[in-house]
Structure 1
Amino acid sequence: MKNMIKISLIMFLVSILASCNNSMNDLDKYFEEAKKAPPRPIDPLPEINSPEIFVYEAQELRDPFSNDLEILEEHNTEENNFVEGEGPDLSRRKELLENFPLDSLYMVGTYSQEGSYWGLIEDPEGVIHRVSMGQYMGQNYGEIVMINEDQIDVSEWIPDGLGGWIKREASIALREEE
């Protein structure tokens, strides 16, 4: 058995050595033919499409990163409901519903008696409050200015960043039954 393995190994090595030969005739012949062949034509370069030119047109708009006093004064115009020297009564005692953001309060109904309307407001804790015109709710000094059967209108005071106030109207619609 050992002799058989030795003979197989010797035969294998002899066949490998026999296949290695110094002759490169085939390779030389291939290069000669390649040199004689006419060159292939080069494909033309692809057409380059120029990019569309973008024209920036927002340079006249307000810079969102600027805290420029002049820009803020432009914002505080009558059309933006800026009221010079006015604002919320900061000395009055805050009411319970002013502890909650306006968007977390829900109108769940109305109550009327002798021609007067009261709104029924549910706070985030699930407690129902009765409100009337002139009361305050929301964290932006929102005063109730109108109570209808389907919504409550609130007038809020928003700080403008310059020590002044901007008046903003908001409303709370009657919540649909789920």
Structure 2
Amino acid sequence: MKKLLILMPLVLLVGCSGDQEDLRAWMTRQEAGMKGQVKPLPDIKPFPQVDYEVATVQSPFDPEKFVAPTSVVGGPRPDVNRQREPLEAYPLESLKMVGAMMKKGSAHALVDAGGSIYQVRVGNYMGQNFGVVTNITETEIQLKELVEDLNGDWVERTSALYLQEQQETTQ
């Protein structure tokens, strides 16, 4: 057994002879078939020249860019000191016009707000955006609302509340 252990490394060393001509010949044959075809690079197209004009471009580092624009003085503003009306507690989207009537020559509308019916005439306020009633017809209530824009200025916006047809339910 000891002889076998000594002979085995000796046989392996003899197998690693210095004559490697057959290996070199095989490598030469393999390299001959491996030459690839590389396509030539495409022609480089010149890009048109663009002149950079500093005077026409706003600098991203200009501190004036970060200053908020000044608000318009004398624009529309809500009257915060007046007595609030009951319909101003509800968003305009939740209010429903359920009827209209003429009373002493002036138009009145009936508005449903959370199950309660309110009588509205021109000049009354409704909705949470300082909406004032400007006109009442048989089918709609026209309002002028004041909403605040991104700059903090108050802007007028017109809205309308249309008559809701009552749906008949059969049981």
With the length of structure 2 as denominator, give the TM-score of the two structures: 0.57
Q: Note if contact 2:133-2:141 (Cα within 8 Å) is conserved in structure 1.
A: yes
Deviates more, 1:24-33 or 1:108-117: 24-33
Are residues 43 and 175 of structure 1, via their aligned partners in 2, closer, same or farther at CA, if it must alter by over 3 Å? farther
Matched, 1:41 2:42: no
Q: For 2:43 and 2:165, locate their aligned partners in 1 and report how far apart those are by CA, in whole Å.
A: 62
Aligned positions of 1:127-166 closer than 5 A? 127-159=116-148, 165-166=154-155
Deviation at 1:148, TM superposition (A): 0.9
Aligned positions of 1:1-178 closer than 5 A? 28-37=24-33, 39-45=35-41, 67-69=68-70, 72-73=71-72, 84=74, 87-113=77-103, 115-123=105-113, 125-159=114-148, 165-176=154-165
Q: For 2:66 and 2:127, locate their aligned partners in 1 and report how far apart those are by CA, in whole Å.
A: 29
SS of structure 2 residue aligned to 1:120: strand
Matched residue type, 1:137: M
Are residues 139 and 26 of structure 1, via their aligned partners in 2, closer, same or farther at CA, if it must alter by over 3 Å? farther
Q: For 2:108 and 2:118, locate their aligned partners in 1 and report how far apart those are by CA, in whole Å.
A: 10
Q: For 1:119 and 1:48, locate their aligned partners in 2 and report how far apart those are by CA, in whole Å.
A: 76
Deviations 1:136-160 (A, max 9, x none): 1112222111111121011223356
Deviates more, 1:34-43 or 1:91-100: 34-43
Deviations 1:25-46 (A, max 9, x none): 8754431202334722113457
Q: For 2:37 and 2:150, locate their aligned partners in 1 and report how far apart those are by CA, in whole Å.
A: 71
Could you tell me which residue of structure 1 aligns to residue 52 of structure 2?
A: none
Q: For 1:40 and 1:29, locate their aligned partners in 2 and report how far apart those are by CA, in whole Å.
A: 20
SS of structure 2 residue aligned to 1:39: coil
Deviates more, 1:99-108 or 1:136-145: 99-108
Deviation at 1:176, TM superposition (A): 5.0
Q: Which runs of 5+ in 1 are unaligned?
A: 1-20, 51-58, 77-83
Q: Note if contact 2:76-2:156 (Cα within 8 Å) is conserved in structure 1.
A: no
Are residues 86 and 47 of structure 1, via their aligned partners in 2, closer, same or farther at CA, if it must alter by over 3 Å? same
CA-atom RMSD in angstroms? 4.3
Of all paired residues, the percent bearing the same amino acid is: 34
Deviations 1:51-87 (A, max 9, x none): xxxxxxxx7xxxx975221xx44xx7xxxxxxx2753
Could you tell me which residue of structure 2 aligns to residue 6 of structure 1?
A: none
Are residues 167 and 48 of structure 1, via their aligned partners in 2, closer, same or farther at CA, if it must alter by over 3 Å? same
Q: Which runs of 5+ in 2 are unaligned?
A: 1-14, 47-57, 59-64
Number of residue pairs matched by the alignment = 140
Could you tell me which residue of structure 2 aligns to residue 11 of structure 1?
A: none
Deviation at 1:112, TM superposition (A): 3.2
